[in-house]
Amino acid sequence: MNSLYDVVIIGGGLVGASLAAALRHSPLKVALLEAGHWSPPDAILPSSYDERVLALNYASQRILHSLGVWEKVSQLATPIKHIQVSDQGHFGKARLHCEEIQLPALGYVLAARQLGQALQQTLQQGKVGIQAKITVTDFKQHPDFIELQCLQQGAPRVVNSRVVIIADGSDSQLREKLGLLTTLQDYGQTAIIANVSLEKSHQYTAFERFTAKGPFALLPLANKDCSLVWTVPPDSVQAKLELSNREFLAALQREFGWKLGAFTQVGARHAYPLRLVRTPQSVSTRSVVIGNAAHTLHPIAGQGFNLGLRDVASLSDILLTAHQAGQDLGSVAVLNAYAAIQQPDQARVAGMTDSLVQIFSNNLPGLRHLRGLGLLALDHCAPLKQHFMRQMTGLNAYPSRLLCGVVEK
């Protein structure tokens, strides 16, 4: 039999690499399989104007700190100290401030590339076996392990593992091969993503404005720049992408108003159809799906990657505890223990984001009035605001060691 791993992680993206980082110093024999290249950088360079960014909530920052990753990128991240939520053309506004829950920031905005490079650098310090340019084509179940059939640069390979973690994204084919059922909901919305510059300072504030056609969000970046997420109907996407920069900025101005002065610059625009993908049962025989392979969310509250990081924190807890107890890592008992602590978080976050989309994309007159009252209540009811902010910052999640600040060494 080929060499047997304790844990094989399929997918070297941000979630898969984070799990590998969480296990890099453990006694477990771990492999990370990545279909693309793997070339850790010597240095993490400043982000370019058009870089794709991530909104990391406070819990994610704590997890990354525990992994030894945050220190590599902290000076590159922009804090979110305030959040302002409004309903375009209607009364009611909620204002959230980090001081209200005694945090230094509600979250941070960071270029995805920079976080990926920091994770790659971190993995160089551990003993995870990283195999690049390798694709898993099929698998075979055995009583004590899974046999993964792979192609590595055209050559057949076999990799065996006690447990397999699937982190290969929303369209995971391996999830389908495992027979894990998914539910898919098309929101009939498309997100236009771009970075923009403004005349006035954002004061480290994130803006979430609900409009008749979908949410409109601005996340603070360095200087007076922001990351834009503009949700529009699919039939208007192409026309907006084809606007000149000047015309596009004018359209943004009409949508957002003049609170931050004039929109002065826009970078490259990209469009992404929005859908909700859920895997209600995220564990199968000796296998677990995490991150976007388990749940792909609407970006309305910026929760997707943050939930994926909490998958990592909870799963690493369960695997390390099981190993210390001498348990079989791929056993039903161990994997069900992970499901028991993490699926409630997944269901809660998916339900919250979906409810926000449904409530704020509905233009019934009575519902518009109730939305306004809801925003007023959130703004003025301290216990309600505290609970909502803890949920948004990830602090209501399972108290894993990484979330609680136990640093990996």
The chain-wide mean pLDDT, for the chain, equals 93
Query: Which one-letter amino acid corresponds to residue 208?
Result: E
Per-residue pLDDT averaged across 93-101, rounded? 95
What does CATH list as the number for 4-184+275-393?
3.50.50.60
> How many CA atoms within 13 Å lie on the side-chain side of 264?
9
* 377-396 pLDDT tens trace: 999 999 999 999 999 999 99
Residue 231 pLDDT > 80: yes
At 1 the pLDDT is 45
Contact yes or no for 304/297 (Cβ under 8 A): yes
b/e map 54-90, b = 16+ CB within 10 Å: bbbbbbbbbbbebbbbbebbeebbbbbbbbbbbbeee
Cα 175 to Cα 30, 136, 201, 210: the distances in Å are 20, 12, 44, 34
Residue 90 pLDDT > 80: no
Torsion of CA 12, 15, 16, 22, to 10 degrees: 130
Contact yes or no for 192/240 (Cβ under 8 A): yes
* 349-365 pLDDT tens trace: 999 999 888 887 766 66
Contact yes or no for 106/393 (Cβ under 8 A): yes
Per-residue pLDDT averaged across 57-64, rounded? 98
Tell me how far apart the alpha carbons of residues 327 and 322 are, in angstroms, rounded to a whole number: 5
At 185 the pLDDT is 93
At 2 the pLDDT is 64
At 408 the pLDDT is 56
Strand partners, 129: 31
Residue 409 pLDDT > 80: no
Please report, for the chain, the start and end positions of each structural domain, with discontinuous segments joined by +.
4-184+275-393
Quickly state the pLDDT bin for 171 (edges 50, 70, 90).
very high
Please name the helix (run of DSSP H) or strand (run of DSSP E) that holds residue 118, with its range, or none: helix 112-123
Tell me how far apart the alpha carbons of residues 109 and 128 are, in angstroms, rounded to a whole number: 28
Tell me how far apart the alpha carbons of residues 309 and 287 are, in angstroms, rounded to a whole number: 18
Tokens 């296998």 sit on residue = 287
* 116-132 pLDDT tens trace: 999 999 999 889 999 99
Token pair for 224: 């007076």
Helices (H), 178-244: 237-241
pTM: 0.95
Per-residue pLDDT averaged across 359-380, rounded? 79
DSSP 3: P
Which residues make Cβ contacts (< 8 Å) with residue 399, sequence separation at least 6? none
Quickly state the pLDDT bin for 46 (edges 50, 70, 90).
confident
* 16-38 pLDDT tens trace: 999 999 999 999 999 999 999 99
* 332-342 pLDDT tens trace: 999 999 999 99
Token pair for 304: 């997707």
Extended strands (E) in 11-167: 30-34, 53-57, 78-80, 82-87, 93-97, 107-111, 129-132, 134-141, 146-152, 155-166
Token pair for 63: 């997890």
Tell me how far apart the alpha carbons of residues 50 and 43 are, in angstroms, rounded to a whole number: 19
Tell me how far apart the alpha carbons of residues 59 and 309 are, in angstroms, rounded to a whole number: 9
Per-residue pLDDT averaged across 386-408, rounded? 90
